[in-house]
Amino acid sequence: MIDHSLNKILFFDIETVGMTPDLNSLEENYPEHHRLFMNYMDWFKRKYSDTDGMTSDEVYESKSALVPEFGKIVCASFSFVTPKGETHTQTFKNDNEKDLLMQIKDLLDKVFDLGFHLCGHNIKSFDIPYLGKKFLSNSIKPPKILPSYSTKPWEMKAIDTKELWGFNSNYGLSSLDLMSVSMGLDSPKTGSVTGKSVHSNYWYDGKLDEISKYCEEDVKSLLEIITKIYKLK
Q: Which domains does the chain have, with CATH numbers?
A: 6-19+70-231 (3.30.420.10)
Task: Work out the pLDDT band at 3, boundaries 50, 70, 90.
Answer: low
Tell me the average pLDDT across 156-182: 93
Mean pLDDT of 176-203: 92
Average pLDDT, the chain: 95
Reply yes or no on whether the pLDDT at 193 is more than 90.
no
**Average pLDDT over every residue of 18-28:** 98
Q: Which residues contact 199 (CB under 8 A, 6 or more apart)?
A: 17, 18, 61, 62, 64, 65
What are 35-71's pLDDT values in tens digits?
A: 999 999 999 999 999 999 999 999 999 999 999 999 9
- SS3 of 79, please? strand
pLDDT score recorded for residue 4: 66
- Give the burial class of 153: count Cβ atoms within 10 A of its Cβ; 0-12 exposed, 13-18 middle, 19 or more buried: exposed
HSE of 134, CA atoms in CB hemisphere, 13 A? 31
User: Residues 91-101: what's their mean pLDDT?
Assistant: 98
DSSP state of 21: S
